[in-house]
Amino acid sequence: MMQAQISSTLTGEYQLRGVMEMASGLLLKPDSSFEFFFSYGAMDRSGSGKWQWIEKDSLLVLNTPDRHAADYTLLQSRKDTGDLTAIHINDKNVYFLSYTQVRVHTDSGIIEGVTDNKGFFTIPRQPVKKIELLFELCPERFSSFTITNSNHTYFEFRFEPWITEVYFNNVILKPTKGGLEGGHPLLQGQQYKYQKLE
C-alpha cells in the first residue's frame, strides 16, 4: 500500500528549470521505469532506466542497468603499406566524422588527437596496443578496444546507433513542493530543479 501511494505521488512528467539554452526532462512511470530527454543546440539525446524510492532517506535514485559496452564498432583492421598507422571512422553520418577524440596506446606512450573531416586520425607507423574513442558531442564515456595484432596499421570503426544515449549512475533526486531537486546525468552539481507538469 505504501509503495503504491509513493508511486502515485512521484510518477509523472518533470521538466528541468533554471538552466539557460537547454531543455531536459524526466517521465517517471508507475512500473518504476523512466524516460529522459536532453536538448542543447542541435544535439538531442535521450535515455531510460529504473527509478527506486529509498524510504529511509526519502530520496529517489535513478540508474540505467542495461548499458552498451562501446559506442563504436571495429569493422576491420589490417596491415597496410606506407609510413602511417590510421584510425578511420567510416559512417554514413558524415557530419559527425570530425568529432571523435582518439587515444592510441603504443609502446612509447599515448598519442592523442581528433579525427579530421573525413574521419581519419594518423600517427607514424608503429605497433598499437589499445585504441580509445570518444564522441566529442557526448563526452562522458570512452570506448576502448584492445588490439591483439601488433602488425595491423589500419583500423576502421563506425558509430553505434546508441552513441547519443544517456546513462544514469545513481542520480539522486529529492521531492520538493513543486517537483524534484538534485542531480543531472550530464551536468555537474546537485542543485537542479525539475518542475512537475500537471
| Domains observed in the chain | 2-65+165-196 (2.40.128.640), 72-159 (2.60.40.10)
Could you tell me whether strands 171-175 and 179-184 are parallel, antiparallel, or unpaired per DSSP bridges?
antiparallel
In a 3-state reduction of DSSP, which class is residue 66? coil
Q: Determine how many CB atoms are found less than 10 A away from the CB of residue 45.
A: 18
Nearest alpha carbon to residue 53 among 109, 99, 18, 5: 5
Question: Residues 6 or more apart from 147 whose CB is under 8 A from it?
Answer: 77, 128, 129, 130, 131, 155
- Strands of the sheet containing 128-135, edge to edge, are 109-114, 100-106, 128-135, 143-146
Picking from 47-51, 52-56, 157-161, 192-196, which range would have the lowest pLDDT averaged per residue? 52-56
- By CB neighbour count within 10 A (0-12 exposed, 13-18 middle, 19+ buried), where does 1 fall? exposed
- By CB neighbour count within 10 A (0-12 exposed, 13-18 middle, 19+ buried), where does 42 fall? exposed
Residue with cell string 543546440: 41
To the nearest 5 percent, what fractions of the chain are helix, strand and coil?
5, 55, 40
Residue 87 and residue 115 in contact, taking contact as beta carbons nearer than 8 Å:
yes
Residue 147 has phi, psi (to 5 degrees) of -100, 120
pLDDT in tens, 94-150: 999 999 999 999 999 999 999 999 999 999 999 999 999 999 999 899 999 999 999
Mean pLDDT of 54-76: 94
CA 150 – CA 38 distance, rounded (Å): 41
What pLDDT band is residue 9 in, cutting at 50, 70 and 90?
confident
pLDDT of residue 124: 97
pLDDT of residue 168: 97
CA 41 – CA 18 distance, rounded (Å): 16
CA separation, residue 86 to residues 93, 100, 114, 132, 193 (Å): 20, 14, 12, 13, 45
Mean pLDDT of 151-160: 97
**pTM summary value:** 0.86
pLDDT of residue 7: 62
